[in-house]
Chain A
Amino acid sequence: MEIVDPRGRTEEPQSPAMAARIAHRTDPLRLGFLVNERTRNQGPDFYGYSLAIEVALRSRFELSDVVRTCKPLLSRPAEPAELEELRYVQGVVNGLAK
């Protein structure tokens, strides 16, 4: 029997090279945090998690500046306004708190 693949193809990235590792940098870093939610309402404390990560990163790297921005709705991607705030940072931390 001939069968048809039900999965649908995806677009593979043309250039999968990773960004430069920040551990190799010597100049102070500008770091961004994209936080899911400004206040803790139910479940993870996204904002508190980002503060804890900042402390941990400051103990390992010299940070010249930290930009912290919050998504208007945690279930949706960041809006252009939030992304614009992060345009000039050298790294962005975005993750779930557990």
Chain B
Amino acid sequence: MALPALPSTVRDIDEWVELSHNHRLTDGLPVLPPTRQAVDRLVASSGRSRDDVLGRIPPRGGLASVEVVAANAAMAGCPADCMPVLLTAIEALLDPAFNLNGVQVTTHGCWPLLIVSGPIVDELGMATEESLFSGGGAHASVALGRALSLVLWNVGGTRPGAPVKEVFGHPGRLGYCVAERSEQPWTSLHEARGLAAHQSAVTLFACESPHSVAFWGLGADPEERLKAVADTMNPSGSNNTHTMGEILVAFSPAEARHLNSCGYSREQVQHRLFELSQRRIGDIRSKSEDAPAVYEWWPDSIDQDDPDALVPIVNGPDSIHLIVAGGDSIPWAAVCPGWGHLGGYAVTRAIPA
């Protein structure tokens, strides 16, 4: 359905504020006017033609040209040098593996998390320490998350009620972007996912808000601490616990250093979390007559009639995405559950140099 046309000019900021709300150009937060001057500056910094098309953004199917993306970036107050990151992020979202349409309209509360890694993190001054999941007070971090959300709002038409059926919502719908710390004991996320260490990259992963893992009551034993993380990965009500899929785990720098000093590489942490987070079928599935007796998506190797059979909560160790970030004051971890087997799978793309 065609949207009502916008006027090509506004008199002043007051008229723009009224227009932006009347035409639902914003999700409720105030937005800057996408002036021709601001949009042209952002297009120029992208290194691409304004008419280049990235694709159609579901569910509405709006055409995401570089200029349209730049208009949303202008509304978010995006710094010009963030444009290559934003464009790469949108291209990653449109990868069929991500299932962007489903992610946006599902009843589940997942939302695309934009994870930036590599040298560009420091070049843009992105937050990697305290409060990073809410932007850490860094202009680039907040603006990138905000711009991506505005693209999905305006071009994708991801409106609550119709067509979005998300039951409770996700605070990250207003902006959900983090950056990985460059100084860390392990390989970076993008290197673990097949890119070169010197490259900069985006990884998009649909996930819930971070669930805190504090190491209450524990000593230095790394196995006990990984078990505490695993216990936060597999609650009974989680999509992951019942359908597998993927999950994100963030370790604070202090905890990553601790695990590394105990001899745990990134891959070893993934393997141990994969093992420790498995659940007993009898503990997660009801025996009542109206409960499902079989999950069709579980591997055939699992005997679903055996209540003692253990089931993985992700597709494999590689489906546990690790990042090192956050304040360096104390060992800590956070878990962002995914959408389960329904999609939102991580997609990583190199940002053009």
Q: Tell whether A10 pairs with B60 under 8 Å between CB atoms, given A3-B10, A4-B67, A5-B6.
A: yes
Say which one of B136-144, B252-260, B290-298, B301-309 lies at the interface with A. B290-298
Enumerate chain B residues within 8 angstroms of A10, measured Cβ to Cβ: 1-2, 56, 60-63
> What does the 1/0 interface line of A67-97 toward B look like (CB < 8 Å)?
0000001111000000000000000000000
Assembly CA distance A98 to B56 (angstroms): 30
B35 and A39: CB pair below 8 A? Answer: no
Residue A26 lies at the interface, judged by CB distance under 8 Å to chain B: no
* Residue of A3, A7, A41 touching B154 (CB-CB under 8 A): A7
A75 and B102: CB pair below 8 A? Answer: yes
Residue B107 lies at the interface, judged by CB distance under 8 Å to chain A: yes
A interface: dominant SS? loop
* Residue of A7, A41, A75 touching B295 (CB-CB under 8 A): A41
Chain A residue at minimal CB-CB distance from B107: A43
Assembly CA distance A9 to B51 (angstroms): 12
Chain A residue at minimal CB-CB distance from B65: A8
A1 and B71: CB pair below 8 A? Answer: no
A8 and B36: CB pair below 8 A? Answer: no
Write the nearest CB–CB distance from A75 to chain B, whole angstroms: 4
Chain B residue at minimal CB-CB distance from A5: B6
B35 and A3: CB pair below 8 A? Answer: yes
Assembly CA distance A39 to B297 (angstroms): 11
Assembly CA distance A83 to B106 (angstroms): 22
Enumerate chain B residues within 8 angstroms of A7, measured Cβ to Cβ: 3, 6, 25, 62, 68, 154-155
Q: Tell whether A38 pairs with B6 under 8 Å between CB atoms, given A4-B67, A6-B75, A43-B107.
A: no
Write the nearest CB–CB distance from B77 to chain A, whole angstroms: 13
Residue B170 lies at the interface, judged by CB distance under 8 Å to chain A: no
Residue A27 lies at the interface, judged by CB distance under 8 Å to chain B: no
* Residue of B11, B60, B71 touching A4 (CB-CB under 8 A): B71
List CB contacts (< 8 Å) of B68-84 with chain A.
68, 70-72, 74-75
Interface size on B, residues (CB 8 A): 48
Residue B342 lies at the interface, judged by CB distance under 8 Å to chain A: yes
Enumerate chain B residues within 8 angstroms of A12, measured Cβ to Cβ: 2
Q: Tell whether A76 pairs with B343 under 8 Å between CB atoms, given A2-B36, A4-B67, A6-B72.
A: yes
Assembly CA distance A5 to B65 (angstroms): 11
Enumerate chain B residues within 8 angstroms of A42, measured Cβ to Cβ: 242, 292
Enumerate chain B residues within 8 angstroms of A41, measured Cβ to Cβ: 242, 292, 295
Assembly CA distance A5 to B67 (angstroms): 9
B63 and A6: CB pair below 8 A? Answer: no
Chain A residue at minimal CB-CB distance from B295: A41
Residue B16 lies at the interface, judged by CB distance under 8 Å to chain A: yes
Residue A58 lies at the interface, judged by CB distance under 8 Å to chain B: no
List CB contacts (< 8 Å) of A42-84 with chain B.
42-43, 73-76
**Which residue of A7, A9, A74, A75 has the most chain B CB atoms within 10 A of its CB atom?**
A7
Write the nearest CB–CB distance from B67 to chain A, whole angstroms: 7
A6 and B36: CB pair below 8 A? Answer: no
Assembly CA distance A9 to B62 (angstroms): 5
B16 and A6: CB pair below 8 A? Answer: no
Write the nearest CB–CB distance from A49 to chain B, whole angstroms: 15
Assembly CA distance A11 to B296 (angstroms): 37
Binding site for B on A (CB under 8 A): 1-12, 38-43, 73-76
26 of the cross-chain contacts (CB-CB < 8 Å) are A1-B9, A1-B33, A1-B36, A2-B36, A3-B6, A3-B8, A3-B10, A3-B33, A3-B36, A4-B35, A4-B39, A5-B6, A6-B34, A6-B68, A6-B71, A6-B154, A6-B155, A8-B64, A8-B155, A10-B56, A10-B61, A38-B296, A39-B296, A41-B292, A42-B292, A76-B102
Known: A42-B242, A73-B343. 20 other contacts (CB 8 A): A1-B9, A1-B10, A2-B8, A2-B9, A2-B36, A3-B9, A4-B70, A6-B155, A7-B3, A7-B6, A7-B62, A8-B68, A8-B154, A9-B62, A9-B63, A10-B60, A38-B296, A40-B292, A41-B242, A75-B106
